[in-house]
Amino acid sequence: MAWEFRNGIPIYTQIVDEMSARIASGRYSPGQRLPSVRDLALEAGVNPNTMQRALTELERRGMIHTERTSGKFVSDRQDALKELNKKMAEKYVARMIQELMAMGMKKEEIVDAVLEGLKEV
């Protein structure tokens, strides 16, 4: 089944976000070989060139690396993975805050709700 993409955001950046989320969640674990560009493109329902562009960006960020003749692998660099988790958390929190503010909540109310939620975990 093809991935779902949002309008107004370049597809390759959405692929970078999706692949980053898969790495951060452990779906693709450190050192794991990724499916081929062609297979990932088929899964996502995109042109292989678009998928390659996204993978090149992930490699530039240190999330994956290429081994000649062996394929692309998830990085086992802990600093890169830690930075990825931090960025994913920041994006999630920013999106949550925007949604809560759109519902009419004030910043103080959001802070109170987050602190209350942290007490429950």
pLDDT tens string 9-53: 999 999 999 998 898 888 999 999 999 999 999 999 999 999 999
Residue 101 falls inside a structural domain: yes
Residue 6 falls inside a structural domain: no
Residue 94 falls inside a structural domain: yes
Model's pTM, two decimal places? 0.70
- Closest by CA position to 72, among listed 98, 41, 47: 41
- Which one-letter amino acid corresponds to residue 25? S
- Closest by CA position to 31, among listed 57, 70, 86, 85: 70
1 pLDDT exceeds 70?
no
For residues 34 and 71, the answer to whether their CB atoms sit within 8 Å is yes
Instruction: Show the domain range for 84.
Output: 79-118
Note whether 55 and 94 are same-domain residues: no
Note whether 91 and 48 are same-domain residues: no
CA atoms in the 13 A half-sphere facing the CB of 114: 12
- pLDDT tens by residue, 94-109: 888 999 999 999 999 9
